[in-house]
Amino acid sequence: MRDCGRDLGRGSCLLGEKGWTGAAFGLLGYRKGVKGPTLSRTTREGWGTPSAGVPTIPGVAHLNRVSNSDLTSILFVLLLLVGLAQLLGYLFMKIGQPRVVGEILAGVILGPAVLGRLPAAAKFLEATLQQGNILNFVYWLGLLLLMFLSGAETGHLYRREERREVGWLAIVGTGIPFVLGLVAGPWLIGPALAGPNGNQISLIIILAVGVAVTSVPVVSKMFADLKILHTRFARLVLGVAVLEDIVLWLALAVATAVAGKTALNPRQLSQHLVVTIVFFGLGLTIVPRLVKAINKSRFNVIARHSPIAYAIAVLLAYCVVAGALGVSLVFAAFLAGFAVVHKKRRLFAEALEAISKVSFAFFIPVYFAIVGLKLDLIRGFSGWMVLVFLAGSCLVKVFSVALAGRCAGFRGLDLMNLAITTNARGGPGIVLASVAFDAGIISPKFYTTLVLAAVLTSEMAGAWLEFVMRRGWPLLKPTPAVEPGLPAVEQQPFAA
């Protein structure tokens, strides 16, 4: 019997040979030791076998048509993923929990832990293996759109009177967990955490980022659901999260750059790191200014007549350049979102709103569902690893943010609210796990651990905020005085 796990990208690995676990990964086109999205064998040889009587185009065999049965199979799988993800996401929102948790649970239900154990379900989904590249494309498009919209949320978060507080929370609250992860990493990492391309440097960086990261999308969604997105508390938390994400995405880019190099070549490593850092630096400084100039140019017909197409074109252009330079497309998508709205969000507000609606209606829920689909809670789960990482990372993060809050002048309940909320890893924690796993840096067990930590910390933050609001406690105590010339800080809302 062939070992499908040794070549997860092969569409010929049937469900009956290794069960739904191997099929789910083969469905996504993943191959061991290959960074980023890969194409299945059917993709490399053509879009499936042409049906009898279906004409082909001479010289372009790779454009052969997909048969009606293959297309029906893949549409049915997408229907299951998006339908169940939206349903469970809605139910979780109704009970005051993040939508993303329900979307991931949808994939878990359709994965090896639940339906994958039923022979009837496994046989029915077997046909989709021949078109697994389509699911792989939808998965990565959802991830890129999520990062693009996350980058678009980085503007207009800061007020001058809050910079000191944000600075303390970002530098101390993020710096301590990240540095502790780097320092303790050599003693904490081991074979159980490493993937096929994981070396000591990349694993240590992933561990440090996993401890320090804070979610922008999930936290902002929780604030919107609680109707506190306009408050000072929300601005502080999101401002800190944005600064954290920019620094930690750079660290993750470095980790993916050195992945797979057991014998690190100093010259190649230096070149790759320089390219990555320069790309990131230019993407945060000079390039947004160029994009801003192009946005307002009278020759930019696309931006004026089809702003949605223009915003997507910027995303694709960033990804193409990043791919040519060997930089991860995930970071390019984040920088593209940052550039499009850089200090001029109103230019593309309606376009970004339209992209956001479509993305959060289909592509992003499917992405999170496939994340859950990839979770093997039977063979890729380690209870002690989840417990140790969750407890250790939460203690370090909560303590660091509480210390940072005291330095910034917060006391009592304010510290608890800030610490628990910034401990939510949410979307970025899941993206961290996806990128590191796809790059072969981490093992399936560590991937499952990072995803579960992101889900559980988001659950804790959502439950705590709802509890505080229900009790009528303030999220932050009102500012006692306002400096001359500065606008008054709004009062925090109380539960009715």
3-state secondary structure of 372: helix
Asked if 450 and 333 sit in the same domain, the reply is yes
Considering the domain boundaries, does residue 205 fall inside one? yes
Residue-wise burial string across 305-322, b where 16 or more C-beta atoms lie within 10 A, e elsewhere: eebbebbbebbeebbebb
Asked if 356 and 459 sit in the same domain, the reply is yes
pTM over 0.85: no
Please identify which residue in the block is written with the tokens 């999101």.
Answer: 238
Asked if 227 and 327 sit in the same domain, the reply is yes
Asked if 119 and 171 sit in the same domain, the reply is no
Asked if 312 and 364 sit in the same domain, the reply is yes
Structural domain harbouring 125: 4-45+67-140
* Tens of each residue's pLDDT in the chain, 496 residues: 333 333 333 333 333 333 333 433 344 443 444 444 443 333 333 334 444 444 454 555 555 566 787 788 788 888 989 999 999 989 988 887 778 888 888 988 887 777 777 776 666 556 555 556 788 899 889 989 988 887 776 555 556 666 788 888 888 888 899 999 999 888 888 888 888 888 888 888 899 888 888 766 667 666 766 777 667 887 788 777 777 767 777 787 778 777 765 445 666 667 777 887 788 788 878 888 888 888 888 888 888 888 899 999 999 999 999 989 877 787 788 889 888 875 544 667 888 889 989 998 999 899 888 888 877 777 778 888 999 999 999 999 999 999 999 998 888 889 999 999 888 887 778 888 888 888 889 988 899 899 899 888 888 888 888 888 888 888 888 765 444 443 444 444 433 3
| DSSP notation for 103-120 | HHHHHHHHSTTTGGGSHH
Asked if 177 and 132 sit in the same domain, the reply is no
CA distance 166 to 114: 43
Total number of domains in the chain: 2
Give me 238's structure tokens.
């999101």
pLDDT, position 82: 94
pLDDT, position 23: 38
Asked if 149 and 217 sit in the same domain, the reply is yes
Find out whether 372 and 104 touch, Cβ atoms under 8 Å: yes
pLDDT, position 225: 67
**pLDDT (tens digit, 9 = 90+) per residue, 128-144?**
555 567 888 998 899 89
Range list of H helices, 213-348: 217-225, 232-258, 266-284, 286-296, 301-305, 307-325, 329-340
CA distance 283 to 151: 11
Asked if 428 and 461 sit in the same domain, the reply is yes
CATH of the domain at 437: 1.20.1530.20
Q: What angle do CA 450, 452, 456 make, to 5 degrees?
A: 120
Asked if 361 and 454 sit in the same domain, the reply is yes
pLDDT, position 363: 93
Asked if 21 and 168 sit in the same domain, the reply is no
Residue 359 DSSP one-character state: I
pLDDT, position 398: 92
pLDDT, position 224: 65
Asked if 133 and 148 sit in the same domain, the reply is no
Considering the domain boundaries, does residue 206 fall inside one? yes
Residue type, 422: T
pLDDT, position 88: 93
pLDDT, position 41: 36
Of 125, 140, 155, which residue sits at a domain end? 140
Of 121, 140, 159, which residue sits at a domain end? 140
